[in-house]
Structures are given as C-alpha cells and as structure tokens.
Amino acid sequence: MSFEKLDKLGTKLHALSHALAILGADEATHMAPGGGEARAEAMSVLSGMYHRESVAPEIADWLDAAEQEDLNGDQQAAVREWRRRYIGLTCLPPEFVERQTRASMRCEQLWRDLRARNDWAGFAPVLQEVVELERERAARRGEVLGLSPYDALIEMYDPGSRVEQVAPVFEELKNFLVDFVPRALEVQEKRREKSPTRPLSGNYPIEKQRELGLAMMAAVGFDLTHGSLSVSHHPFCGGVPTDVRITTRYRTDEFLSSLMGTLHETGHALYEQNLPKEWAHWPLGEARGMSMHESQSLFVEKQIGRNPAFWQWALPLVEQHLGESWSQDEILDHVHHVERGLIRVDADEVTYPLHVILRFEIEQELIGGSLEVKDLPEAWDERMKRYLGLSTIDSPKDGPMQDVHWPSSAFGYFPSYTLGAMMAAQQWSAIKREMPDLDEQLSCGEFEAVNDWRRTHIWSQASRWSTPELIERATGEPLNAKHFREHLEERYGS
C-alpha cells in the first residue's frame, strides 16, 4: 500500500528532524563558541538530506495512490497533511535550502556577539544576505502556491493566514491600543498614588531563580522526565516532544522577567509534550501552526501567570525559593505593570501587540523590496515613536537587532504572537464558561482541569483541523478579537 510507504518515510524523516532539533537546541545553549562553523555545516547537510527525502518525485505518486486507498479517518487526515507539506517543500530546491540554512545559522551566530556590541554596521551586511535569500524563498513559494510573497512566508508558520485578513484586524487593534495605552497608564498612576510601589530589586542568585522556575514548570504540568530548562541569549522552546528543551535568561537584580519567560516557554512545551504520540512521525501529529502554538504559551504566561488567583498560590513558593515575602497587591503591581518599553520580550500585555504590529508592517516592506536593510534603523525608529513614543535611532540593539527571528530567517512568524494572544483570551473565556470556579482552582495550585480542557480541545487534535476550524471547535465560535480587548480592559482599564 502507498500509505505504508508514506508511513515508513515519515519514520525516517522524524528521525532526521529529531537530530536537527536537538543539534539546534544544543547550538543555542551548550555548544562551544568555536564549534559554530562545523555545526552550521553539519546542520546544513542534514537539512539537505531531510529536504531531498521529503521532495522525492515518487512521493507524489504515493499520495495520489493513498488517496484512493481504504483508510481510516486518522490516515486520511495524515495524507492530507502530507500533501500540504509536500507541495510546500517542493517549492524549494535542496541546494537553496542548504544555502539558506548556512547563511541564517552564521547570521544568528554573529548576531549574538554583534548585538551585545550594538554593532549595526557589522550586522547589516550579514542580515542583507539573509533578507535576499528570504525574498527568493518568498518568491519561489508564492509562485507555486499562488500567494503573494509575504503570504507565502506566513503560510509556513500559520497555514491559512493571509495579510488581507490579518492586516485589518491589526490596524483596528493598533488604533485601539494607541488610545488604550495612555488610559492604562493613567489607571496605574492613580492606583500607585494610593499605594506606592514596592521596588522589585535585590540580589537573586541565578540558581535560586532556576529552582523557582522548575517548581512552577512542574506545577503547571511540565514533564521534567521529558524536558529541561537551560539558558540562552533569547528564550525559546526547542527539542522534540519527548525531549523538550526550553530556555530562559536571567537578571540577578530582579526575578519576574525570567520567571515570566519561563512560564511562556512552558506553555509551548506543554503543547509539544501532549501531542498524540501515535501520530508523532506524521505531519498530522505536529502542532497546528504558530499562532495556535503562541496561544498555548501566552495562555500560561498571561491567562494563568498574570492572574491574581495564580499569585495567591505562587507567593509562598517565591518566599520558599527566594526568601522574600510579598503581598498579593505588591507583586501584582509589578505583574500588571504597564510601560512603554523598547524590548518586545519584556513588554507587558497592553503594549506587546504594538511591538508585533511594527514588525509585521516592516517585514512586508522588507520582503516586498520597498525597504532595504540599510534603512531599517530609521524605519524602526519612526514607528516606535508613532506607536509607543520612544526612539531607538541611537541603539539598534534595542531596535532591529533585538530579536533572533530575522537573523534566523523566521520572516512571517511575528503575526502569530498577537493572533495567539487573541486565541488565548478566547480559550480562557470558553473555559471560564465551563468552569466558573476556575480562579479558585488556580488559587489552590490546581491546574489539572484547565490542562485537561486544553488537552482535549487543542493538544490532542494536533493538525487534524485548520486553525480557524480548531479555534471554533474548541470555543464554539470563530476567532473573535473582542475577548482579547475585554481581557485587557478588565485587567488594565479600571
């Protein structure tokens, strides 16, 4: 049977992707600095092998034949996802994949050093090569898929999303937030006039912060026998479902930024650890796009981790590991802190979407060719001033150099963050309807019921449904931004 051939191929590709994922996670965390060039070459070769196996001409025949075979529902869905994957991968020749992998890995390696030195002049030519290859990839994919170049990149991360649907939603949200940010800041100022802020500063050893993070990871459902926590320049969730590698970064003068980063990546990890094991070697067994993935990470960080009820349970844990006693009001003053800032990963719930929208708009111009890399600092600065009233013109490390996404060729990814925030708020609303005592559960450190809901409605479904179908089946309605706006207004607007 042709399906059996696809199944056997899936097992082989799964092994290659496993190796690439672990090598990539190690490269970003534990690899010696001198190993970069050889690691890039090894991963380039493995990526080429994976691509060649994935685009073999006979696979088209197997797919045609498998669609005519007597398959069960899971197998039919698997064939559908295999075809979608095959079409996407055959857009690009193997030599291009190797060239792009090599360029992006070297760019990312250089970025870590050059960003620390605020060296835009040294970074721009390297990023230019990545952007040129990204334009080529976008054009090749767009021609085959019948999409605009930037839509062809978004499709890689969030199948079905299109600029024509996303842009109006983001424009509406941007207009709302530009007005809402000053309102939230005013509410915050009035609250602090009545109760002054207790400074979040001190000496917090990294090891103690790490133990606190591990305790919270385990409590919210992370399986420490199938995952680990490390340090990297930029927090991420990598590895494979059976060996999830999440990272954070620490500051010794405060503990919240690392803790929230850890909770965010734990949300990604929970999705990966709870995908159907029987589908692991099929495309069907993968998470359904990055907006859904971001909804799971943001759910843990925002809906749970910034919930007042969560901190009723968490504060004794903070005292146990860090030796500090905080009242709920004192810690929430920081957890719900709103501030116009330069760094996306440190941004609060209210300002964060403006960081994403800025990148979404600039990416379209870069890929479309109306903006060149050399002009990025000025373009970034102009939007930062307009949206958040801040300037980055003298600090590119806080502007177009701040994220790992562009050095690593992840153009088209950024919209997923804010789409994910909307989905997370909508899932929370659906769970609250079913579990009116949800806050009481969180205050007692009980996360099983909320995880069971997500396991049933999101995690176990993997890629069986499109993103719009999945969110509607899970929550009972199509994606509706009102849940996100109501969430922000309730938490920050009064």
Q: Tens place of pLDDT for every residue, the chain, 494 residues?
A: 899 999 999 999 999 999 999 999 999 999 998 999 999 999 999 998 999 999 999 999 999 999 999 999 999 999 999 999 999 888 888 889 889 999 999 999 999 999 999 999 999 999 999 999 999 999 999 999 999 999 999 999 988 889 998 898 899 899 999 999 999 999 999 999 999 999 998 899 999 999 999 999 999 999 999 999 999 987 899 999 999 999 999 999 999 999 999 999 999 999 999 999 999 999 999 999 999 999 999 999 999 999 999 999 999 999 999 999 999 999 999 999 999 999 998 899 999 999 999 999 999 999 999 999 999 999 999 999 999 999 999 999 999 999 999 999 999 999 999 999 999 999 999 999 999 999 999 999 999 999 999 999 999 999 999 888 899 999 999 888 889 999 999 999 98
Length reported for the chain = 494
Sheet hosting strand 237-240, strand order edge to edge: 227-231, 243-248, 237-240
- What is the distance between the alpha carbons of residues 28 and 396, in angstroms, rounded to a whole number? 22
- What is the distance between the alpha carbons of residues 437 and 449, in angstroms, rounded to a whole number? 11
Six-digit token string for 242 = 């059976």
Q: Which pLDDT value is given to residue 8?
A: 97
Beta strands in 376-423 (DSSP E): none
Question: Under a CB-based contact definition with an 8 Å cutoff, are residues 70 and 16 in contact?
Answer: no
- What is the distance between the alpha carbons of residues 156 and 209, in angstroms, rounded to a whole number? 35
Six-digit token string for 367 = 């890929």
- What is the distance between the alpha carbons of residues 192 and 177, in angstroms, rounded to a whole number? 22
**Torsions phi, psi for 239 (to 5 deg):** 80, -150
By annotation, the residues acting in catalysis are: 265
The pTM assigned to this predicted structure is 0.87
**Which residues make beta-bridge pairs with 248?**
231
Q: How would you label 154-173 residue by residue, b for 16+ Cβ within 10 Å and e otherwise?
A: bbbbbbebebeebeeebeeb
- What is the distance between the alpha carbons of residues 262 and 229, in angstroms, rounded to a whole number? 8
Q: Which pLDDT value is given to residue 466?
A: 87
Span between the terminal Cα atoms of the chain, in Å: 62
Question: Under a CB-based contact definition with an 8 Å cutoff, are residues 184 and 338 in contact?
Answer: yes
Residues sharing a CB contact under 8 Å with residue 22, sequence separation 6 or more, in sequence order: 239, 240, 243, 245
C-alpha pair distances (Å), 211 with each of 127, 204, 221: 37, 12, 16
C-alpha pair distances (Å), 1 with each of 4, 68, 289: 5, 10, 30
- What is the distance between the alpha carbons of residues 455 and 274, in angstroms, rounded to a whole number? 7
Q: Which pLDDT value is given to residue 138?
A: 97
C-alpha pair distances (Å), 253 with each of 201, 206, 209, 235, 289: 5, 10, 11, 18, 36
- What is the distance between the alpha carbons of residues 446 and 423, in angstroms, rounded to a whole number? 22
Six-digit token string for 185 = 């800041």
How many Cα neighbours within 13 Å face the side chain of 262? 26
Question: Under a CB-based contact definition with an 8 Å cutoff, are residues 447 and 259 in contact?
Answer: no
